[in-house]
Structure 1
Amino acid sequence: MTPGVSIVADDTRSWGLETAGPGLLLNVPSTGPWARRPALHLEVAPSYRLRLRGGQKTLLWTRIDSYWDQAVFVRGTDSAPRILPVLTAPEIRTVDSLPGTETWWTAWNWKMARALIGAPLPVLHAGHWCLRPIRAIEAEKAERHPVSPMEWSFGQPLMPPHSLAAVTQFPLAWTEDWWEALPGQRPGALLPLREASAAEDGRVKSWRKRARDGTLPPVLLLFVDILAKWVVLDGHDRLHAALLEGTEPPLLGLWPFIDRPQPWNATREEGALLAAEFQLRTPPTPDTVDRINRMLLFSFSHDRRGTVSRAWPLPGGQAAWREELSARRRLGPPPLLDEDDWDWLL
């Protein structure tokens, strides 16, 4: 018998995020269908060349500078395939608890977990996953620079989501300076996988009614740590509807993680205390106190969990990368990229 995915309550005390309710841990086996690369996945070629695939379509090409200073992004010409089945009104009515309560979140956790396990275009791969309610922050409060692989020991803390209005924007290409990042490009920024439907679209109007009465189902986001962004897996229209109504959308975050037990280290703990003392020499703001507390918890914890995105080798390697992007360029260079950006990307 092929083992299935096991689902248990999330016992992690803190992921460094503000969570709105209880979560679930999914343990995906490495046999059967889970041994294959999922339909939505990252592929990698040398020098931090990354390709995001959805089904047989390329959704995004990204190249990151080797010093982790900047990145260039180019979208594919195809729209992202639907990852989860369309939510129907009868399905939504099966969750009859008061929205935002623990029982309401638990019901949606389980509904989304089962949908992910049975998805025709799978996202999950072998390993550990967390599915948990999360809350967005203001972009100005986000970290200013992504954490590079050179700075973390395989697995890192999550970044809270922000800049949800990005779901209404869909640039075909753009560059990011990670030292002087605009607030909407800081770690934790939202990355939609398709263009937003028009505000007059019937489905958006239907979701707007639910946003007004507080019964909007959660939007499902996936954290991609190497890009330091949250990808919208399911709920582009729901998120758009909430923005149009000026309401806070319920968000469910999904991320792969690894357990990182670490031995006691006096130098690390002493360094954390010195860093905290230095930051507290001037009257701290509430944000500073919160950041220090998270840093101390992270430094003194001996049983930590961190997120890490899995990637597969890009078939054909760098030659295939150049051929694909050259063909994309011949279709008409997207705006906001100059010739130097294209040459470096290739």
Structure 2
Amino acid sequence: MRVETPVKPGLRMECADGRRLVLLQGTTPVLFARQRATHRGVHYARTGRYASPLAPLRAERARAFAEFAVPGTEEWTERWAAHAEAGLRAAADGPLHTGEWRLGPRPNGWFVDGNWPKLLAHDPDRGHLTWFGYGDPVEDARDLLPLRSLSPVEAPRVRAYRRQYREGVLPPVFAWWISGLDSPVVLDGHDRLTAALAEGGRPRVLALSRAVDAAWVELCAARPVREYVERVAALDGSDAGFRVANESRRLAETLRSITDSPDLTRAWPYPGGAPAWDAAAAAHVPGWAPDADG
């Protein structure tokens, strides 16, 4: 989707020297983060001030969308993506800003199945996301970062969503890919996330990200296209047609993964730089002292 305004959104990343990051909603910090010097992960601290930019979902809408199309199908996904797009375009405190964006399901392999249960078992307000492991605690390998504490699994709203999950009509979780965290964050649907996991399932996730531009796609596609042409030219025999079809499908999947890959997240300079960031972190998450040198 093409977004014309605003140039600077209400929900945005800002950065300062020393790998310092902060997610602001208006003027309110909702997440502080600091990347490790070794590039093995990022320390974070939530402030408890985040509010979803989307209006609460009513059960009637979830069931109406399920009647429109079978949950999980392309038609159902497109309907929910259109719903989220309209809400995000209208939100004053959302992440959209001028440029090209994508909103849809992530490719297979984006989320590791074994990491989902860790969200219910280990989701501290002050924690660490590991990028490569390397001796980090196993529970730090998570693929999605909530922007607020997850509700108890028996909370009334979660119980209502758990019922929707059992009925097969639970709406998706809406996430936003932030490249500085190397992780999507939950934009909307924290309780739906909890409900799906509490039922032993997995949530459907639609992720928002900036779209890569055509020049990047062309650059990344050049090699696989060239290799495809070479492989097809070398095929002969009675089964050549079948093998060409297989090669074409492989190329199409490769090109789709390139086109669908997220671009880097825009971050604005934090006013006052590192000293101001340090002061803000001390005020909003007192006592938080991440080991960013490790």
> What range describes the TM-score normalised by the shorter chain of this pair?
0.7 to 0.9
AA partner of residue 124 (structure 2): P
Structure number with greater CO (CA < 8 Å, separation at least 6) is 2
Deviation readout 1:36-62 (Å, 9 max, x if unpaired): x21211001112111111233212222
1:198 matched to 2:169 = no
Change (3 A) 1:136 1:243: farther
1:232 matched to 2:207 = no
Separation (CA, whole Å) in 2 of partners of 1:263 and 1:201: 47
Sequence identity, in percent? 31
Separation (CA, whole Å) in 2 of partners of 1:44 and 1:164: 29
Aligned-pair CA distance for 1:317: 0.8
Q: Which residue of 1 aligns with 2:78?
A: 106
Mapping of residues 1-346 of structure 1, within 5 Å: 26-29=1-4, 31=5, 34-35=6-7, 37-76=8-47, 78-95=48-65, 96=67, 97-134=69-106, 159-160=110-111, 163-168=115-120, 169-175=122-128, 178-179=131-132, 180=134, 181-186=136-141, 189-259=143-213, 260=216, 261-262=218-219, 297=254, 306-328=262-284, 331=286, 333=287, 341=291
Bigger fraction of residues in helix: 2
Deviation readout 1:268-307 (Å, 9 max, x if unpaired): x78xx9xxxxxxxxxxxxxxxxxxx79x947x97x78542
- Aligned partners of 2:144 and 2:184 also within 8 Å: yes
Change (3 A) 1:65 1:134: closer
Describe the SS at the equivalent of 1:189. Answer: coil
Moved more, 230-239 or 63-72: 63-72
Separation (CA, whole Å) in 2 of partners of 1:306 and 1:125: 15
Moved more, 104-113 or 210-219: 104-113
The TM-score with structure 1 as length reference comes to 0.65
- Aligned partners of 2:209 and 2:262 also within 8 Å: no
- Aligned partners of 1:135 and 1:251 also within 8 Å: no
Q: Which runs of 5+ in 1 are unaligned?
A: 1-25, 138-158, 274-292
Aligned-pair CA distance for 1:173: 2.1
The TM-score with structure 2 as length reference comes to 0.76
Q: Which runs of 5+ in 2 are unaligned?
A: 231-249
- Runs ≥4 in structure 1, deviation > 6 angstroms? 263-266
AA partner of residue 113 (structure 1): E
> What number of residue pairs does the alignment pair up?
262
Change (3 A) 1:245 1:310: same
Separation (CA, whole Å) in 2 of partners of 1:264 and 1:195: 41
Separation (CA, whole Å) in 2 of partners of 1:246 and 1:70: 28
Change (3 A) 1:184 1:254: farther
Separation (CA, whole Å) in 2 of partners of 1:309 and 1:317: 19
Aligned-pair CA distance for 1:205: 1.1
Deviation readout 1:220-276 (Å, 9 max, x if unpaired): 11111221111011111111111111123221111112211328877xx78xx9xxx
- Aligned partners of 1:135 and 1:161 also within 8 Å: no
AA partner of residue 63 (structure 2): R
